[in-house]
Amino acid sequence: MRTILSLPALSRSVPNLSLSLAPSLSDSMSLWSGPLLVLWLYLPGYLANTAAMLGGKWIPDLTGVQPRPIDGGKTLSDGFRILGDGKTWNGLFGAIIGAGLLCMLTHSVGNDSLSHNGIFLDPLIWAEPDDWFWIGGEWGAAFTVGAFLGLGCMIGDCTGSFIKRRLGKKREGDESSEAPLLDTLPFAICTFAMGLLLFPNALVGNSALIVPMFGLLILTPIIHRLTNMFGYWVGLKEVPY
């Protein structure tokens, strides 16, 4: 297969980011290359929120299909919504499908001709046809990996919303529910956990990426704000956060 590289082949093709067993993957990554590699590998999860905006707002506006809240509009004993109107089934499925398609794109980009850059690597490197997610060949596997990263993002996003509602922070009406850490860290942590737990045999789930993941977590609030500002600019979000 063109993009599923063996460990020796990958080590030869990435001179400035050696992924050989000695030194280890974590030892061979710099302060910047590590988080950038993680950002690239987990880009489907990181952009799942943008896909959720499309599924939850833009597509309903175009098709006339109204968004359906995941919590069904229900409240808990504290009088606040379980999740709020911002978490819809439309957005959830949009995030999962969008993340799957985006992982197919990163799988396509991460081929031998670009791997010498050391960052744009195929997230499916080291994956094998007998892995559980190898459904429908390498492209089906790429979609499956991305879809689960998108699901992880949405689980974390809903977790953050649940905590915000318990703290009395509303999204409905004119009152803001802005909470920078709850808006960013849960979705990133759940996305990373999904990759590490479900895809340990592929590069995207390599345990040596845990350290640079922590580095990326520090930058995640900035990335999230920029993404939401873009969503607000194009009319996908009502607020730029």
Tell me the pLDDT tens digit for each residue of 55-114.
877 777 777 778 889 998 899 988 888 988 888 999 999 999 999 999 999 999 886 444
**In whole angstroms, what is the distance from residue 186 CA to residue 51 CA?**
18
Q: Is the pLDDT of residue 9 over 80?
A: no
**In whole angstroms, what is the distance from residue 45 CA to residue 224 CA?**
12
Global model pTM greater than 0.85: no
Q: Are 125 and 4 in contact (CB under 8 A)?
A: yes
Task: Dig out the tokens for 99 from the structure.
Answer: 């993340």
pLDDT band with cut points at 50, 70 and 90 for residue 178 = low
